[in-house]
Amino acid sequence: MSGGVQGCASADISSPGDASLSSPGAFVTLHCKGRLRGCIGQIGTPQPLAPLIAYCARAAAMDDPRFRPVEPHELPEIEIELSILSALEAISPKQIEIGKHGLMVTGGGRRGVLLPQVATPYGWSAIRFLEETCLKAGLDRAAWRGDGVRIEAFTADVFSESQLHAGATADPQVTAEPRYSSST
């Protein structure tokens, strides 16, 4: 990430062992002084984890359309959070567990994704989580009720720099302070 921010060419991080560590998706969320600064991920196609994380980290820093690119002077204040995703599975609204499931709503050629750690700090119900995911997709908040709209869920192992620096060994799905993270 810092190489991309500082204008350096991306390093080749592939190695023979990369293929053994793959994931159906990953997101990299950046925070600066406790505020969302970028979040980009990929979901749905298993990929080697190291290059996927490297790609998402650079994209979160430089290509998230909601933010200007991260500048070199910001790097010391950036905290990185990784969300390593499970495979997508169809889910009914009654099965959604806040804090456990992330959601992807697809319909009308659009899709919205919200990570599992998004709903908890806001106290959202499963219905509100679905509505917010629809809004993220650019759909009407009630679109999840309609035919032709697919609701899928995933779980995530979430790791943050502050957890690693603190030597946290608690449940990796729970960050110290979950923050709003989303994809583009």
Summarize pLDDT for 72-119 with one digit per residue, the tens: 999 999 999 999 999 999 999 999 999 999 999 999 999 999 999 999
Residues 69, 73, 78, 84: what is their CA dihedral angle, to the nearest 10 degrees? 50
Residue 176 is predicted with a pLDDT of 38
Residue 16 is predicted with a pLDDT of 43
Q: Are strands 150-154 and 110-114 parallel, antiparallel or unpaired?
A: unpaired
Give the separation between CA 30 and CA 160, rounded to whole angstroms.
10
Give the separation between CA 172 and CA 149, rounded to whole angstroms.
31
Q: How many residues make up the chain in this entry? A: 184
Instruction: List domains and CATH numbers for the chain.
Output: 2-85+156-166 (3.30.700.20), 89-154 (3.30.1490.150)
Q: Give a three-class secondary structure readout of the chain.
A: CHHHHCCCCCCCCCCHHHHHCEEEEEEEEEEECCEEEEEEEEEEEEEEHHHHHHHHHHHHHHCCCCCCCCCHHHHHHEEEEEEEECCCEECCHHHCCCCCCEEEEEECCEEEEECCCCCHHHCCCHHHHHHHHHHHCCCCCCHHHCCCCEEEEECEEEEEHHHHHHCCCCCCCCCCCCCCCECC
List the pLDDT tens digit at each of the 184 positions of the chain. Answer: 555 555 655 445 444 444 568 899 999 999 999 899 999 999 988 899 999 999 999 999 999 999 999 999 999 999 999 999 999 999 999 999 999 999 999 999 999 999 999 999 999 999 999 999 999 999 999 999 999 999 999 999 999 988 777 775 545 444 434 343 344 3
